[in-house]
């Protein structure tokens, strides 16, 4: 019987943006401790590999790749005020992207039933020619291009539940009808994008779904969004694959966000997406670590998602009760999306 795959490696500790930076190596260290606790009858630990220039070049310009490679020659380089590299960062970024691709390959072959790439640095803010928001390479976008190019995937759902809007991922697929990008995020907040009216353009119009949530939303509000928006639209899209930008900074204990999610809320969202994958994608769903900066909350929340992956049939679906305060926002998003998903 196929196991769940987990990508994690000590080399991810080598990316060091400096003392006191929120995206610190300890985020990965505490997850290494969690990986050591996994039952290897149920989880297979996968080694990463560096992504090739061709693989990352599907999302990033040659000039940007040259700039990132050049940062390997200096102890510190600031791509912007938040995004800092060290000599190892370029190589670790390639290893993060390649680790995710290794996971997807294992799932495509049928050797793995689903997976979680516990890698860093995060990626969903990275643009074609610019790193930002702690992100160097847009790993989830690189993964989606890999699935299309190597396996002929026609419909990929990218679900982004990080507290920050994934502007880089949205931009990568803004005009692409083969990728449905759905984001729940605190709004207004960094990076300033992700309004409900942003729905994609040209051939991709209607294939971007933004749910800009006010600060303070917790388990009940997120469950309402998933029950009323994410799962119904995702079901109509009927994806071949689901990729999840799993940021855990909407947790109530996170120092960078203003949301009120608990580990139970993350587990409920994972359940809903695992069920969607079982119904439409042959179970093919891969989670990818994005944000999450309170170490204890991060470990508990990742553990909750891994538990859902291990045995989704015993999991609890998102509650249908509560969250009434955001119903006007839910209705607004549904009105905006109605021309694309009502039929």
Residue 231: closest CA among 194, 196, 267, 275 = 275
Instruction: Please give the Cα distance from 129 to 136 (Å, whole number).
Output: 10
List of the chain residues with pLDDT < 50: none
- Among 125, 165, 185, 251, the active-site one is 125
Give one DSSP letter per residue of 167-223, joined into a string: HHHHHHTTT-TTEEEEEEEESS-TTS---TT----GGGTT-EEEEEEPTT-BHHHHH
Q: Are strands 285-289 and 241-246 parallel, antiparallel or unpaired?
A: parallel
pLDDT digits (tens, 9 = 90+) for 56-89: 999 999 999 999 999 999 999 999 999 999 999 9
Cα angle vertex 184, ends 193, 338, to 5°? 90
Could you list the residue range(s) of the whole structural domain that residue 197 is in?
3-341
* Alpha-carbon torsion angle 56, 62, 65, 70, nearest 10: 160
Distance of alpha carbon 308 from alpha carbon 278, whole angstroms: 13
Would you say 178 and 156 are in contact if contact means Cβ atoms under 8 Å apart? yes
Q: How many domains does the chain have?
A: 1
**Distance between CA 301 and CA 246 in Å, rounded?**
10
Q: Please state, in angstroms and rounded to a whole number, the distance separating the CA atoms of residues 316 and 84.
A: 40
Task: Residue 209: name the closest of 166, 249, 241 by CA.
Answer: 166
Evaluate whether 304 touches 266 at the Cβ level (below 8 Å): yes
Task: Round to whole Å and give the CA distance between 84 and 64.
Answer: 15
pTM above 0.85, yes or no: yes
pLDDT tens-place string over residues 321-332: 789 999 999 999
DSSP designation for 254: -
**CA-closest candidate to residue 92, choices 58, 121, 125, 60:** 121
| Residue 311: predicted pLDDT | 76
* Cα–Cα dist 53/61, whole Å: 10
End-to-end CA distance of the chain: 38
Q: State the helix-helix crossing angle for 139-151 and 89-108, rounded to 10 degrees.
A: 40
Check: CB of residue 126 under 8 Å from CB of residue 135: yes
Whichever domain contains 120, its CATH number is 3.40.800.20
Report the alpha-carbon distance of residue 125 to residue 339 in Å, rounded.
28
Q: Catalytic residue at 125? A: yes
pLDDT at 320: 64
CB 43 within 8 Å of CB 3? yes
């Amino acid at each position: 019987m196929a196991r769940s795959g987990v990508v994690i490696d000590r080399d991810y500790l080598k990316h060091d943006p400096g003392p006191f930076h929120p995206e610190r190596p300890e985020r990965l260290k505490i997850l290494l401790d969690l990986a050591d606790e996994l039952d290897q009858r149920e989880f297979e630990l996968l080694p990463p590999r560096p992504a090739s220039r061709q693989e990352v070049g599907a999302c990033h310009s040659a000039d940007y790749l040259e700039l990132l490679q050049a940062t390997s020659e200096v102890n510190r380089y600031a791509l912007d005020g938040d995004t800092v590299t060290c000599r190892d960062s370029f190589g670790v970024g390639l290893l993060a992207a390649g680790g995710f691709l290794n996971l997807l390959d294992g799932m495509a072959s049928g050797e793995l039933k689903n997976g979680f790439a516990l890698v860093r640095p995060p990626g969903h803010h990275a643009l074609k020619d610019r790193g930002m928001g702690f992100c160097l390479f847009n790993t989830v976008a690189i993964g989606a291009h890999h699935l299309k190019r190597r396996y002929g995937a026609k419909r990929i759902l990218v679900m982004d539940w990080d507290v920050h809007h994934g502007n880089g991922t949205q931009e990568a697929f803004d005009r692409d009808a083969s990728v449905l990008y759905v984001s729940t995020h605190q709004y207004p907040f960094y990076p300033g994008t992700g309004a409900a009216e942003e729905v994609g353009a040209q051939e991709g119009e209607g294939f971007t779904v933004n749910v800009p949530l006010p600060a303070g939303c917790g388990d009940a509000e997120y469950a309402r969004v998933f029950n009323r928006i994410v799962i119904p639209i995702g079901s109509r899209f009927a994806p071949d694959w689901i990729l999840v930008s799993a940021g855990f900074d909407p947790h109530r204990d996170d120092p960078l966000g203003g949301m009120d999610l608990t580990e139970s809320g993350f587990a409920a969202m994972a359940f809903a997406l695992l069920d969607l994958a079982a119904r439409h994608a042959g179970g093919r769903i891969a989670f990818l670590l994005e944000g999450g900066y309170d170490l204890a909350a991060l470990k508990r929340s990742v553990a909750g998602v891994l538990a859902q992956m291990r045995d989704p049939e015993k999991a609890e679906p998102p509650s249908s009760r509560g969250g009434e305060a955001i119903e006007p926002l839910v209705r607004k998003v549904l009105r905006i999306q109605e021309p694309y998903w009502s039929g």
